Amino acid sequence: MAEKLIRFGVAMEEELLRDFDRVVESRGGTRSEALRDLARAAVIRAQVRRGADAVAALTLVYDHHVRDLTERLTELQHELGDRVRSTVHVHLDHDHCLEVVVMQGRSDELQGIADRILALRGVKHGGIELYVGGSTPARGAGHAHHHHHDHATAVSPPRRAPPRARKRKTS
């Protein structure tokens, strides 16, 4: 159910408003939508600092040739235990891998973990996106919402056709 919208006035410098309007126009939205996005982001940043329940996506690009880096990343993920919900690993080229680690736990702890991982020698780029919300699912639990949708299932490898029977020579 949508919450009631409340109108209020905002005062800002004319030049800042012109710059803001250019941002809003490039996004294809409205001032109200942009201000709501900014307000949500500020609220989430405050909740992250306080240690709220959260889910996070840590994305990193690293050079897998750096000595012991892949082993260290694996070791850190094992130390995190059930806080790691899923990982995706992609080989980008001969030297670089992209990894996305989905985690769940206290937001301040997840941020600390991300900071440790992103500081490792060989990690070239990365960041963390945290979601602090009222309905983050409990670890190991199903969904808390009540609408139907299909879940992805594991895909079995294609089956091979049975070998053809050999024709026997008849003489």
Strands, DSSP E only, in the chain?
Answer: 53-63, 84-91, 96-106, 123-132
pLDDT in tens, 49-84: 888 899 999 999 999 999 999 999 988 888 888 999
φ, ψ (nearest 5 deg) of residue 100: -120, 125
CA distance 59 to 151: 24
Query: Looking at per-residue confidence, does 47 or 105 come out higher?
Result: 105
φ, ψ (nearest 5 deg) of residue 152: -65, 145
Predicted model pTM: 0.64
Query: Looking at per-residue confidence, does 153 or 144 come out higher?
Result: 144
Task: Mention every residue, 6+ apart, whose C-beta is less than 8 A from residue 6.
Answer: none
Q: What is the pLDDT of residue 150?
A: 45
Give the three-state DSSP class for 30.
Answer: coil
φ, ψ (nearest 5 deg) of residue 55: -120, 150
CA distance 91 to 89: 7
Residues 56 and 123 sit within 8 Å (Cβ to Cβ): no
Q: Is the pLDDT of residue 158 over 60?
A: no
From the list 104, 43, 95, the residue with the least C-alpha distance to 70 is 95
pLDDT in tens, 98-148: 999 999 999 989 999 999 999 999 999 999 999 887 555 555 544 444 444
Q: What is the pLDDT of residue 88?
A: 95
Q: Is the pLDDT of residue 166 over 50?
A: no
Show me where the domains of the chain are located.
15-50, 51-134
- Fold for 51-134, please state it: Alpha-Beta Plaits (3.30.70)
